[in-house]
Amino acid sequence: MKNLLGILMVGISVSSFAAEDVWTDKVKIVEIYTGYKEGHILFKTSGTHINPGSCSGFDLYSVEPDNADVQSILSVLLAAKMSGTDVKVAVDGDRCGSAGVQHLSGKASVSRIGSF
Protein backbone atom coordinates (compact mmCIF):
# COMPACT_ATOMS: atom_id res chain seq x y z
CA MET A 1 0.00 0.00 0.00
CA LYS A 2 2.86 2.35 0.82
CA ASN A 3 4.41 1.69 -2.62
CA LEU A 4 1.09 2.41 -4.34
CA LEU A 5 0.86 5.76 -2.58
CA GLY A 6 4.45 6.58 -3.63
CA ILE A 7 3.73 5.74 -7.28
CA LEU A 8 0.59 7.87 -7.18
CA MET A 9 2.52 10.85 -5.77
CA VAL A 10 5.21 10.56 -8.48
CA GLY A 11 2.51 10.42 -11.17
CA ILE A 12 0.86 13.56 -9.83
CA SER A 13 4.13 15.47 -9.60
CA VAL A 14 5.21 14.48 -13.12
CA SER A 15 1.90 15.61 -14.63
CA SER A 16 2.29 19.02 -12.98
CA PHE A 17 5.42 19.61 -15.09
CA ALA A 18 3.48 19.55 -18.38
CA ALA A 19 4.12 22.80 -20.22
CA GLU A 20 1.38 25.39 -20.18
CA ASP A 21 0.44 27.95 -22.80
CA VAL A 22 2.79 30.91 -23.05
CA TRP A 23 1.29 34.26 -24.06
CA THR A 24 2.93 36.89 -26.25
CA ASP A 25 2.84 40.59 -25.51
CA LYS A 26 0.28 42.62 -27.45
CA VAL A 27 1.08 42.45 -31.16
CA LYS A 28 -0.48 43.29 -34.53
CA ILE A 29 -1.38 40.71 -37.17
CA VAL A 30 0.87 41.16 -40.21
CA GLU A 31 0.10 38.17 -42.46
CA ILE A 32 -2.54 35.40 -42.53
CA TYR A 33 -2.36 32.26 -44.70
CA THR A 34 -5.48 30.11 -44.94
CA GLY A 35 -7.26 27.79 -47.34
CA TYR A 36 -5.38 24.59 -46.56
CA LYS A 37 -7.55 21.50 -47.14
CA GLU A 38 -6.82 20.24 -43.64
CA GLY A 39 -8.22 23.47 -42.16
CA HIS A 40 -4.96 24.88 -40.83
CA ILE A 41 -3.97 28.54 -40.58
CA LEU A 42 -0.54 30.15 -40.60
CA PHE A 43 0.00 33.74 -39.47
CA LYS A 44 2.71 36.23 -38.62
CA THR A 45 2.69 39.00 -36.00
CA SER A 46 4.54 42.29 -35.63
CA GLY A 47 6.36 41.21 -32.49
CA THR A 48 9.09 38.69 -31.86
CA HIS A 49 7.60 35.22 -32.17
CA ILE A 50 7.82 33.09 -29.07
CA ASN A 51 8.79 29.46 -29.32
CA PRO A 52 8.45 27.72 -25.93
CA GLY A 53 8.33 24.25 -27.50
CA SER A 54 11.67 24.77 -29.32
CA CYS A 55 9.98 24.20 -32.67
CA SER A 56 12.10 24.16 -35.80
CA GLY A 57 10.17 26.89 -37.65
CA PHE A 58 9.45 30.09 -35.78
CA ASP A 59 8.76 32.56 -38.60
CA LEU A 60 5.00 31.82 -38.57
CA TYR A 61 2.51 30.53 -36.03
CA SER A 62 0.41 27.44 -36.84
CA VAL A 63 -3.23 26.87 -35.86
CA GLU A 64 -4.38 23.26 -36.18
CA PRO A 65 -7.89 21.79 -35.87
CA ASP A 66 -6.78 19.18 -33.34
CA ASN A 67 -5.31 21.81 -30.99
CA ALA A 68 -7.62 24.82 -31.34
CA ASP A 69 -10.93 26.14 -32.63
CA VAL A 70 -9.57 27.22 -36.02
CA GLN A 71 -12.69 29.08 -37.18
CA SER A 72 -12.89 31.18 -34.01
CA ILE A 73 -9.22 32.04 -34.17
CA LEU A 74 -9.48 32.91 -37.87
CA SER A 75 -12.37 35.26 -37.12
CA VAL A 76 -10.37 37.09 -34.46
CA LEU A 77 -7.26 37.23 -36.68
CA LEU A 78 -9.20 38.69 -39.61
CA ALA A 79 -10.99 41.25 -37.43
CA ALA A 80 -7.72 42.27 -35.76
CA LYS A 81 -5.92 42.56 -39.10
CA MET A 82 -8.66 44.71 -40.67
CA SER A 83 -9.11 46.99 -37.63
CA GLY A 84 -5.50 47.17 -36.48
CA THR A 85 -6.50 45.84 -33.06
CA ASP A 86 -3.84 44.33 -30.80
CA VAL A 87 -3.93 40.64 -29.99
CA LYS A 88 -2.08 38.29 -27.65
CA VAL A 89 -1.21 34.82 -28.91
CA ALA A 90 -1.23 31.75 -26.64
CA VAL A 91 1.40 29.27 -27.81
CA ASP A 92 1.30 25.67 -26.61
CA GLY A 93 4.38 25.20 -24.45
CA ASP A 94 5.12 21.64 -25.50
CA ARG A 95 3.69 21.27 -28.99
CA CYS A 96 4.86 22.12 -32.47
CA GLY A 97 2.79 21.99 -35.65
CA SER A 98 2.41 18.38 -36.67
CA ALA A 99 0.43 18.60 -39.88
CA GLY A 100 1.27 16.29 -42.76
CA VAL A 101 1.85 19.35 -44.95
CA GLN A 102 5.57 20.14 -44.91
CA HIS A 103 5.41 23.93 -44.53
CA LEU A 104 2.93 23.64 -41.64
CA SER A 105 5.04 21.24 -39.59
CA GLY A 106 7.44 22.49 -36.96
CA LYS A 107 5.76 25.86 -36.38
CA ALA A 108 4.85 27.00 -32.87
CA SER A 109 1.31 25.73 -32.26
CA VAL A 110 -1.31 28.28 -31.22
CA SER A 111 -4.11 27.30 -28.86
CA ARG A 112 -5.91 30.62 -28.26
CA ILE A 113 -6.01 34.30 -29.25
CA GLY A 114 -6.96 37.29 -27.14
CA SER A 115 -8.14 40.55 -28.76
CA PHE A 116 -7.57 43.92 -27.09
Q: What is the secondary structure of 76-91 as a DSSP string?
A: HHHHHHHHT--EEEEE
The Cα 90–Cα 92 span in angstroms is: 7
Secondary structure string (H, E, C) spanning 15-69? HCCCCCCEECCCECEEEEECCCCCCCEEEEECCCCCCCCCCCEEEEEEECCCCCC
- Quote the CA–CA distance of 29 and 44 in Å, as a whole number: 6
- Say if residues 53 and 94 touch (Cβ distance below 8 Å): yes
Q: What is the mean pLDDT of the chain?
A: 83
pLDDT in tens, 62-116: 999 988 999 999 999 999 999 999 999 999 988 887 756 666 778 889 999 999 9
Is pTM beyond 0.85? Reply is: no
All structural domains of the chain: 19-115 (2.40.50.110)
Q: Could you tell me the pLDDT band of residue 18, with boundaries at 50, 70 and 90?
A: low
